[in-house]
Structure 1
Amino acid sequence: MAYRTAIVGTGGIAVAHIEGIRALGGRAEVTAVVDIDLDRARAFAETWGIPRVHASVDEMLAAEKPDLVHICTPPGSHLPLAAAVLRGGSIPLVEKPPAMTLAEIDEAIAVERETGAQAVAVFQQRFGSGAVRLRQAVADGSFGRPLVAVCSTLWYRDADYFAVPWRGNWDIEGGGPTMGHGIHQFDLLLSILGPWQSVRAVAARQDRPTDTEDVSAAIVTFENGAVATVLNSLVSPRETSSLRFDFEHATVELEHLYGYGDADWRFAAAPGREGLADTWAGSSAAEVRSGHAAQFTAIFDALDAGLPAPVGFDDARQTMDLVASIYASAFEDRTVVRGSIDGDDPFYTSMLGTGAPWLSGARA
């Protein structure tokens, strides 16, 4: 029996969600769509053959009783929608970022505990076959200790991109490329290297007409001793997304843009360790490209087995903690330790915290 799903929000990312569902060969079906703009919702439903349209999440939950609800709305609406879905008895699948702040993600986790249900963050870059086998190699120590990593999201967004009112707005979008763009790559970085330990960062508004940053750079240390640089940009004409991991005995690299396959990975063994190239090549199972379909498959596999779906909000919180800590480090010129941003810290309730230096109305 197919899982019943609904989509909330009919912007561009909703297309990626429905295409991901359709790629699963009938494993799930979209039975309803929700948008405050009913005309847009009807047009979306007609295009994709979705049978029912609703004006609100509450109306949809009462009528449809879906297994999962895909939340594809601007970030500022993620928490209230996720909470409503949890209380309605369904699983919310929340687009990135899963919440606007650490306070919000903690509130969502509290609603999970209240309802006994689970919220899931959409971090689809974790699920390509290359990342899966690299995590296995790290777990079994095949390549030795991780030493150095480089994580770059160098993208290009022009002024027209920011003409959409909620983009580049701290109160609605929650941040710039650190929050809404590079988060996919450094979430993948964290999924491979494990818990981070501390961060030192800078952020700048180099060129774009936005209140948020358009560039950030960070040096991140990990509990396992690895050191990584993380660079996020929206002003880079040659766009690329890349990761490099230097282990004791090998280097593993990935370069792509918005999604990767096995051909996008490169492997190099250290001198005297050439046999590890066979280990890397031989560990490859059937190729799975990163993307929404890959994560949806992992979610349904987990649900079929009666297990929690990946990526739960407790897991996603580590990534959100790094986001908040990058902003805190950049805006207050300090090193931030993982887990130190709590209810007494201004960056707990706003990624803007005490204020970006380029804003004339920066908070005191």
Structure 2
Amino acid sequence: MLKVAIIGAGAISSAHVTGYLQFADRCKIVAVCDIYPEKAQKLVETYGLDSKVVKDYKELLFEEIDLVSVCTPPYVHAEIAINFLNAGSHVLIEKPMASSLKECDEINEAAQNNGKLVSVIAQNRFTNPMMKLKSVLASGLAGKILHAQVDSYWWRGHCYYDLWWRGTWEKEGGGPTLNHAVHHIDALLWMQGRPSQVQAFMSNVAHDNAEIEDISIAMLRYADGALGQVTSSVIHHGEEQQLVFQGLNARVSAPWKLTASVSKQNGFPEPDTELEAKIQHYYDQLPELQYYGHTGQIDNVLTAVETGENVLVNGVNGRDTLELIMAIYKSASTGQCVELPLQPSDPFYTREGVLKNATHFYEKSSHIENFNDSSITLGRNLEERSHSNG
């Protein structure tokens, strides 16, 4: 029975708790920590946990904890993760992995030195549309990928950034590019690999209580000539997201949609119904996931701890995602076309460099400690939309 601790009792912690509770025969949540102990206590009472409540996570470093979920604001991810890794615990970190590439490297070094695993939450991988899309692309049926498109559309009200740690480069680390599009950027890298160049723009058009962007648009160039684009936003009503790949032979996406074309004699398109049927059959024959989202990833992490197998999303993946995000911020802040990979000498490698060089749109003049309503939305359901578009 693995002993689990939850560090941070904010809204996202519920997804971790419900995930662990699905595997009560394999693990037990023995501690919940938050700098506001009443939030931790409420979490314990809500889910009927038999768990210790603490205010300072350091109290747990001397206890036998097998796995820790880090659900705090990003600016303390590295400190908490490294301390628990050094204390002998495995670590599962909420997105983003950390607030700088330097911190990601320090986390990964601590994991390697202590022989422990690090996984970074990328729950969108653990959905049928994403997992199946990955397999379809790997099959080569769609052909060489010519263009990739990420639409990470979210909507947040003005008061969203009133919370004390949100809307600041120092504590949140960035806006929707970092904290919302991170999942689709992870999936893009998983499926298409790292681009070689990034050119980006960002703005804050609706949240004058935040230093950070509320929309960014990035253009990507790959070494093989393919292009991509990523839109990250908290100003889009409807909260729809999609990941689209235009292949030489067919267009495929999550939510699942399939179109294939062949050329008429005059160059205009007509449907390639034979290829569409072939790809659709391949897609339909792929296995369905047993567990989804956070629960699916928690199952993957528990299995890795139990068996020594590799996790699907590791610390290197988490770092790669943050690297592309930092390249977007660098390009949008400086106007430069940014080459990847970013080097340790780059100003956007460290938190201090980001604070100094990233564009500050507004300055927070006031804040609140907590919201009374901690319920959250997770965007339009990929699973539902996959069936409607199937």
Query: TM-score scaled by structure 2?
Result: 0.84
- What does residue 285 of structure 1 align with? 287
Picking from 257, 271, 275, the partner of 1:266 is 257
- What does residue 355 of structure 1 align with? 358
- What does residue 243 of structure 2 align with? 243
- What does residue 383 of structure 2 align with? none
> CA separation in 2, counterparts of 1:345 and 1:143?
37
Question: Which of 205-214 and 27-36 deviates more?
Answer: 27-36
User: Quick one: structure 1 residues 26 and 224, their matched pair in 2 at CA, closer, same or farther if it must change by over 3 Å?
Assistant: farther
Instruction: Report the Cα offset of residue 157 of structure 1.
Output: 0.8
User: Quick one: structure 1 residues 87 and 357, their matched pair in 2 at CA, closer, same or farther if it must change by over 3 Å?
Assistant: closer
**1:2-21 matched pairs, under 5 angstroms:** 2-21=1-20
The structure showing larger relative contact order (alpha-carbon pairs under 8 Å, at least 6 residues apart) is: 2
- What does residue 344 of structure 2 align with? 343
Letter in 1 for 2:249: H
- What does residue 325 of structure 1 align with? 327
Whether the aligned pair in 2 keeps the contact of 1:269 and 1:276 (CA below 8 Å) is: no
- What does residue 45 of structure 2 align with? 46
Whether the aligned pair in 2 keeps the contact of 1:328 and 1:353 (CA below 8 Å) is: no
Whether the aligned pair in 1 keeps the contact of 2:95 and 2:120 (CA below 8 Å) is: yes
Letter in 1 for 2:343: D
Instruction: Report the Cα offset of residue 199 of structure 1.
Output: 0.8
> CA separation in 1, counterparts of 2:130 and 2:237?
27
Whether the aligned pair in 2 keeps the contact of 1:149 and 1:246 (CA below 8 Å) is: yes
Deviations for 1:106-157, whole angstroms, at most 9, x for unmatched residues? 1112222332222211111112122222222322322211111110111111
Whether the aligned pair in 1 keeps the contact of 2:211 and 2:360 (CA below 8 Å) is: no
User: Quick one: structure 1 residues 76 and 280, their matched pair in 2 at CA, closer, same or farther if it must change by over 3 Å?
Assistant: same
Letter in 2 for 1:149: A
Letter in 1 for 2:232: N
Deviations for 1:224-267, whole angstroms, at most 9, x for unmatched residues? 5431110011111222111111112221122xxxxxxxxx4222
Instruction: Report the Cα offset of residue 291 of structure 1.
Output: 1.2
Instruction: Report the Cα offset of residue 287 of structure 1.
Output: 4.2
Count of residue pairs brought into register by the alignment: 348
How big is the alpha-carbon RMSD for the aligned residues of Structure 1 and Structure 2?
Answer: 2.0
- What does residue 151 of structure 2 align with? 152
**1:196-215 matched pairs, under 5 angstroms:** 196-209=195-208, 210-215=210-215
> CA separation in 1, counterparts of 2:27 and 2:230?
36
Question: Which of 29-38 and 88-97 deviates more?
Answer: 29-38
- What does residue 261 of structure 1 align with? none
Deviations for 1:46-70, whole angstroms, at most 9, x for unmatched residues? 222222222322212323x122100
- What does residue 74 of structure 2 align with? 75
> CA separation in 2, counterparts of 1:353 and 1:226?
33
User: Quick one: structure 1 residues 357 and 61, their matched pair in 2 at CA, closer, same or farther if it must change by over 3 Å?
Assistant: closer
Letter in 1 for 2:327: S
Instruction: Report the Cα offset of residue 334 of structure 1.
Output: 1.0
Letter in 2 for 1:283: Q
Q: Residue 12 of structure 2 aligns to a residue in which SS?
A: helix
Question: Are residues 1:301 and 2:292 paired?
Answer: no
> CA separation in 2, counterparts of 1:14 and 1:138?
33
Instruction: Report the Cα offset of residue 359 of structure 1.
Output: 5.5
Whether the aligned pair in 2 keeps the contact of 1:10 and 1:44 (CA below 8 Å) is: yes
Instruction: Report the Cα offset of residue 353 of structure 1.
Output: 4.7
**1:67-106 matched pairs, under 5 angstroms:** 67-106=66-105
Whether the aligned pair in 1 keeps the contact of 2:177 and 2:216 (CA below 8 Å) is: yes
Question: Which of 133-142 and 197-206 deviates more?
Answer: 133-142
Question: Are residues 1:170 and 2:165 paired?
Answer: no
Whether the aligned pair in 1 keeps the contact of 2:158 and 2:206 (CA below 8 Å) is: no
Whether the aligned pair in 1 keeps the contact of 2:133 and 2:253 (CA below 8 Å) is: no
> CA separation in 2, counterparts of 1:229 and 1:7?
36
> What residue ranges of structure 2 are gaps of 5+ in the alignment?
262-270, 364-390
Q: Residue 171 of structure 2 aligns to a residue in which SS?
A: coil
Deviations for 1:252-291, whole angstroms, at most 9, x for unmatched residues? 122xxxxxxxxx4222233432332343333321245641
Instruction: Report the Cα offset of residue 86 of structure 1.
Output: 0.2
Whether the aligned pair in 2 keeps the contact of 1:6 and 1:68 (CA below 8 Å) is: yes
Percent identity over the alignment is 31
Whether the aligned pair in 1 keeps the contact of 2:200 and 2:332 (CA below 8 Å) is: yes
- What does residue 368 of structure 2 align with? none
Instruction: Report the Cα offset of residue 166 of structure 1.
Output: 0.8
Whether the aligned pair in 1 keeps the contact of 2:218 and 2:328 (CA below 8 Å) is: yes
